[in-house]
Every structure is written in structure tokens, then in C-alpha cells.
A = this chain, B = another copy of it.
Amino acid sequence: MKVIILGGDGFCGWPTSLHLSKVGHEVIIVDNLSRRNIDNELEAGSLTPISPMGVRLKAWQEISGKKINFYNIDIARHYEQLVQLLDQEQPDAIVHFAEQRAAPYSMKSSHHRRYTVDNNINATHNTLCAIAELGLDTHLVHLGTMGVYGYGTSGMKIPEGYLDIEVVTEDGERIPQQILYPPNPGSIYHMTKTQDQLLFAYYNKNDGIRITDLHQGIVWGTDTEDTKRDERLINRFDYDGDYGTVLNRFLMQAAIGYPLTVHGTGGQTRAFIHIQNTVRCIELALQYPPAKGERVKILNQMTETHRIRDLAELVAELTGSEVAYVDNPRKEAAENDLKVDNRCFLEMGLEPTTLAEGLLYEVTEVAKKYAHNADVSKIPCTSVWTKEQKAGIPQVKEQVTSNTGKT
């Protein structure tokens, strides 16, 4: 089928584009390269040497014989360009990764809060509006986040998007209903994804758009089978305090002999998925679209849950690093349990890559191999969630010397 990948230059979008191209889809990438511009802003680029889009696509064509087209469009700003492209291409499906996706970045300042809301809501709304305006029967697959659910408020297993409830009336009558899982986002970024859900529900109800919303866990790993085929195809690896996910941060810290910094008690439990599984899930979501007239299909895209301090211990064991506990920049519960239903993807045929399997590759082939590119000063998270926290930006409690020569 013909698939447009919005945000196809990013950490998830790029390997997804290659995977879908490899399995036989006609892939078109739309991206405004905003993630690379944010690298410039933060003065913290990918640890791995990512190539410019033109080089990436040329390499892919040499190696796979397949062509991917690329359009540099800011879909949140330039609606007419988006409409024109969709009208011209009439895609069978659109995969929408084109949102600012880092919680700490979204909390850095008013500017970053405002950019995240404005960019994410308009990107999603413009896409829906364009599909409705053109009357396309395009299947929209969106990357949501496990973070829309909040973490462990009720102790129950989180279902795939919808919650069975009983409404108790004044007369004590119990009325069974199924509702969107009540949102409880932990950052402005996560909040925008809960607003996206309302956009999807509305356009599905009013305009009949077929939508799959994937609530994804924290993605770990760098390469997929496809990005490994040539260094020009390598995927990004973010280790900075804003875009580096917790596991990548640990790997990087281990590689350069820096203590693994755990925020708070490390009692937070989170859901995880390997990047190779991410691209497979998108393939499966495209293969099993909702039927015409069906409500928004919501799937939990994750394979395992871990407590952060257990992750730190795991990486420490593997690498001989120390663990350092620092203040938590986030406003969140110190400890939580997390049980998540992910039967849908398993039933479709997803075979999970476990942390135990993939972690050593990440340490040796990515973090250690490219450690000379690291800027240690970018590792701590300097974004804070509230004004009260600004007084005490979290710091590693003891200074260590980096083995990279940089500081």
C-alpha cells in the first residue's frame, strides 16, 4: 500500500520508514526536520552520526533498490501544502509521528510549553482536517503514549484504550458503559496526546475517519535490522537530559564511566518496547485497520514493564557502573505499580525483544562505540516541572571525571 510517514526523519519515524519500505509498501516521508533543529537549539545532537535526509535516502536506494520520496513540510503551519500532497498521493495510510515528543523539553519554559501544544495539536488537527476535506478513506495510524493513562492510580491492569465502567445514578441504578480511559498526563507533552485523543474521537464520529492510536511505552534500542545495513542509515541515539530516555541515559553514563543517575527513589514503573518491535507494530497496525464505521482502535504498544531502579541495577551489573540517586525534576508519585494489557499486538503476531537480549549490544555497539561524541554536560535533566523546583535543579551528588576528555 502507499503510506505517508509524517515525522519520518525522527527516532521512530526513520526506522519505521525503512521497515515499511522493505516489506513492500510505497513509502513517502514528510518531515520539517524540526528534531535536527532542536539538536541545534539544545547543543546536544545524536550520539550516533546520523546522515542528512538526502544521504539516508540515497543509501537506502543503493542497498535495498527501493525509493522513498521526501517532502519537507511543516504540517502544523502549512496546511495547504499538506492538502496538496494528500490530494496528489491519495495514500492508503498515514503514520503520524510528527509531534514534539519529549516530556522534559515540553517543560523547559513557557516557550517550550507553548511550542509543544501549538505544534502537536495543529499537526494532528491539520492531518485530520485534510483527510476529511478531501474525503479520503485513508487509515490514520498515530503514535500516542502510555503516558496518557497516568501511572498506577487505581492498581488495576490498564486496558487497551477503553474502560468498562458502571455509572451509578441517583436511584442507585448501575448503568454499564465503555469510555475512553480517563487521562492523567504527567507533562505538557503527554497532555497534548490526551487532547489528540479527543480530536480522534470527534473526527471518527463526525467524519468517519478510520484511526488507530498506539499508546507506546518508552522505546529503547537504536538500530533495527534495516538501519544496521549501512552506517549512513544509522538511527539517532539521544542521551541528553531532554530527549534521552531513561535507559539510553543509563547506557551512556555506563559507557563513559559516569554514575547512573536515578531520579528520586527510582520506584517509578514504566512500560518499554524495543525499536525493532515498534516498527513491527506499525506494520501490524497497517495490516489490521479498523473497519469503516468502527470507533478509534487503541492498542498498547509495549512489551515489558520495569521499575527504574531495577533497570539501573541491571545496567550497573552489566557494566560495573555505580548508581547515584538525585532529586526528581518531575512532579509525580515516587513509587507506582504498572500492569498493562497488550494482548492485541501479541495476538497479531508480535514477538517481543526483551531487555535481557538486546542490552549488551546497546552498551558495546552504540554507547561505547560512539562515546567520543558525547558531551557529558548534557546528560543531567535540567528541565523542572514547577516554579518551586527551579530553586533546586537536580545535580549528581558527587562529581566524577569523564573518561572522554569532554566535560
Contact = CB atoms under 8 A, between A and B. Distances in A.
A96 to B, nearest CB: 16
Interface string A58-78: 000000000000000000000
Given A114-B129, A182-B179, A195-B121, A166 B166 contact: yes
B169 A157 contact: yes
Interface stretch (A24-32, A130-138, A369-377): A130-138
Interface stretch (A183-191, A229-237, A238-246): A183-191
A182 B185 contact: no
A39 interface: no
B157 A163 contact: no
A154 to B, nearest CB: 5
A40 interface: no
Contacts of A265: none
Interface of A: 79, 83, 110, 113-114, 117-118, 121-122, 125-126, 129-130, 132-133, 135, 154-157, 163-170, 174-175, 177, 179-180, 182-183, 185, 188, 191, 194-195, 198-199, 202, 205-208, 331, 385-387
A167 B180 contact: no
A166 B168 contact: yes
Given A156-B167, A166-B168, 16 more contacts: A83-B110, A113-B125, A114-B129, A117-B121, A118-B121, A118-B122, A121-B121, A135-B387, A156-B175, A157-B169, A180-B182, A183-B198, A188-B202, A195-B195, A206-B385, A206-B386
Given A180-B182, A182-B179, A154 B167 contact: yes
A221 to B, nearest CB: 30
Contact of A110 (B114, B129, B169, B175): B129
B202 A198 contact: no
Nearest to A156: B169
A117 B122 contact: yes
Most interface-central of A110, A113, A183 (chain B CB within 10 A):
A110
A125 B129 contact: no
A75 to B, nearest CB: 12
Contact of A163 (B110, B167, B198): B167
Contacts of A132: 110, 387
Contact of A133 (B110, B130, B165): B110
10 contacts: A114-B125, A118-B125, A177-B182, A180-B182, A188-B202, A191-B198, A191-B202, A195-B195, A205-B331, A208-B386
A208 B331 CA distance: 12
Nearest to A180: B182
Contacts of A207: 386-387
Given A168-B164, A386-B207, A113 B129 contact: yes
B198 A170 contact: no
B331 A206 contact: yes
Contacts of A122: 114, 117-118
Given A110-B130, A121-B121, A168 B165 contact: yes
Nearest to A153: B177
A112 to B, nearest CB: 10
A346 to B, nearest CB: 17
Nearest to A83: B110
A170 B191 contact: no
A386 B202 CA distance: 12
Contacts of A164: 167-168
Contacts of A198: 183, 185, 191, 194-195, 198
Contact of A185 (B154, B188, B202): B202
A172 to B, nearest CB: 11
Contacts of A180: 182
